[in-house]
Amino acid sequence: MPFNPCLATGYLRAAGSTLTMAAMLCVMTATAADGEYALTIQDHRFQPAELVVPSSKKIRLSVENRDATPEEFESHDLNREKIIAGKSIATIYVGPLPPGRYRYFGEYNEETAQGVIIAQ
Amino acid sequence: MFGSAVIVFREVIEAALIIGILAAATRSVPNRNRWLLAGVVTGLVGSALVAVSTDAISAMADGVGQEILNSAILGVAVLMLAWHNIWMASHGKALAISAKAVGAAIQEGQKERSILLVVVGLAVLREGSETVLFLYGILASEGTGASPVWLGGVVGILAGVGVGYALYAGLLRVPTRWFFAATGVLVLLLAAGMASQAAHFLIQADLLPSLTAPIWDTSAMLPEGSMAGMLLHSLAGYDPRPAGMQVIVYAVTLATIGLGMKLANSSRTQ
């Protein structure tokens, strides 16, 4: 299902004077939904550990945490950080990326939860 | 234990520095400590609620509810800090210097108290919920090894609070004539940094265009994980790999609040 930022208006409205921003966001709806890629967390490991994505395109990463405990998806290379509750799926947008290798890890289990996204 | 201390420290230091600056900036507000404490307690209760409902929050808005919540929290904090700074520029100095204005100070002090309560509450809420989730995760997965984790968590909290307190104590030593300028600049940078972070969350949620990301990369020179990088991140919103949009939002926030302070200040002196 393509993401519709207009759904977000309710939350933004709660913040008070962000109405104009929310309205602006609805105009930009068309930019969403490019390539979708999936990662899975199981036993504090990412699968696949190496994910190949096209470069220069916006990517929608869908990360499923099959463990019972929460994990934080973190990547300095991608400048991304997001908590994924146990037994749930989270969405993270990255890119468009220049070709290269982008390391990421699970901050709560850094010894085992390591992975890399390869943009080519 | 060391790992959990570092992670908890990273979360706590951000809130602690914000509280340190605000505590110094509101030192002349009556009953300030009570309101600060109320902010911390409210934030802690809120962070437990957020931690418990992470699942539901994440699932909102097609998987980007967390980003929307975070950017809304940051947005409100930026507005409050802007209000504080502009108000301080127009009244604060006069009120603090003139003892005659006690009545007005108490009335105006109430506005400052609500700012203190809300900003401190939101800072604790944001960082606290991540700490709660992290500690819960470790406890749930390790089972028996719980006590070193708790010990690490406590060490991390104490170290973070210590840094925040050091900043507060240092600010109180600033001579009165520089004091308002110093706290004003710190709050201004804090607000700009938060606005940039809010933009970052909206980019991550694909609700704002990134306008080239990253626009520069200083991670080799000054990584965000380093002590200096961490301090600069908390105090001034340092991001080693910012998106173009973040830089614009940062500059616009800085310019807007700065201009507001200047206008408020000059209307007072005329």
- Sketch the domain layout of chain A as residue ranges: 1-32, 34-119
pLDDT category at B108 given cuts 50, 70, 90 is low
A40 CA to chain B: closest CA distance, Å?
Answer: 15
Q: What ipTM was assigned to the predicted interfaces of this complex?
A: 0.77
SS3 content of chain B, % helix, strand, coil (to 5): 85, 0, 15
> Testing the interface with A: which of B49, B58, B135 to mutate, by most A Cβ within 10 A?
B58
pLDDT value of position A17: 44
Task: Please tell me if residue B127 touches chain A, with a CB cutoff of 8 Å.
Answer: no
Average pLDDT in chain B: 87
> Testing the interface with B: which of A93, A105, A112 to mutate, by most B Cβ within 10 A?
A93
Q: Which residues of A touch B130 (CB under 8 A)?
A: 72, 83
Return the CATH architecture of domain A34-119. Answer: Sandwich (2.60)
Q: Which residues of A touch B204 (CB under 8 A)?
A: 80, 82, 92-93
> Testing the interface with A: which of B118, B136, B206, B219 to mutate, by most A Cβ within 10 A?
B206
pLDDT value of position B135: 81
Does the pLDDT value for residue B270 go beyond 60?
no
Give which of A38, A61, A5 is closest to B62, Cα–Cα. A5
pLDDT value of position A86: 87
Give the strand pairing for A114-119 and A50-53: parallel
Residues in a beta bridge with B58: none
Q: Which of A93-102, B25-34, B77-86, B104-113 has the lowest mean pLDDT?
A: B104-113
pLDDT category at B170 given cuts 50, 70, 90 is very high
A25 CA to chain B: closest CA distance, Å?
Answer: 6
- Provide the token pair at A84: 């994924």
CB–CB contact A90 B75 (8 Å): no
**DSSP H or E stretch at residue B34:** helix B32-52
Q: Which residues of B touch A83 (CB under 8 A)?
A: 54, 58, 66, 130, 133
CB–CB contact A11 B62 (8 Å): no
The residue ranges of every structural domain in chain B are 2-269
With vertex at residue B19, the alpha carbon angle to CA B18 and CA B24, rounded to the nearest 5 degrees, is 105
SS3 content of chain A, % helix, strand, coil (to 5): 20, 45, 35
With vertex at residue B141, the alpha carbon angle to CA B138 and CA B147, rounded to the nearest 5 degrees, is 50
Distance of CA B191 to the CA centre of its chain: 8
Does the pLDDT value for residue A79 go beyond 50?
yes
Question: From the list B68, B133, B219, which residue is nearest A76 (CB)?
Answer: B219
What is the spatial distance between Cα B199 and Cα B193, in angstroms, rounded to a whole number?
A: 10
pLDDT category at A6 given cuts 50, 70, 90 is very low
What is the spatial distance between Cα B15 and Cα B73, in angstroms, rounded to a whole number?
A: 13
pLDDT category at B139 given cuts 50, 70, 90 is confident
pLDDT value of position A28: 44
Q: What are phi and psi of A72, to 5 degrees?
A: -110, 115
- Provide the token pair at B58: 């994440």
What is the spatial distance between Cα A97 and Cα B110, in angstroms, rounded to a whole number?
A: 49
Distance of CA B5 to the CA centre of its chain: 20
Q: Mean pLDDT, to the nearest integer, of A17-33?
A: 44
Q: Give this prediction's pTM.
A: 0.83
Establish whether the linkage from the previous residue to B214 is cis, with ω within 30° of 0. yes
Q: Calculate what percentage of chain B has a pLDDT beyond 70.
A: 90
What is the spatial distance between Cα B221 and Cα B205, in angstroms, rounded to a whole number?
A: 28
Sheet of A59-65, strands arranged across:
A45-47, A35-42, A59-65, A88-94
**DSSP H or E stretch at residue A26:** helix A19-27
pLDDT category at B97 given cuts 50, 70, 90 is low
Does the pLDDT value for residue B194 go beyond 50?
yes
pLDDT category at A24 given cuts 50, 70, 90 is very low
Concatenating the DSSP letter of every residue in B132-186 gives HHHHHHHHHHHGGGHHHHHHHHHHHHHHHHHHHHHHHHHHHTS-HHHHHHHHHHH
pLDDT category at B60 given cuts 50, 70, 90 is confident
Concatenating the DSSP letter of every residue in B87-125 gives HIIIIIHHHHH-GGGHHHHHHHHHHHHHHHHHHHHHHHH
Does the pLDDT value for residue A9 go beyond 70?
no
Q: Which residue of A has its CA nearest to B141?
A: A69
pLDDT category at B93 given cuts 50, 70, 90 is low
Q: Which residues of B touch A17 (CB under 8 A)?
A: 79
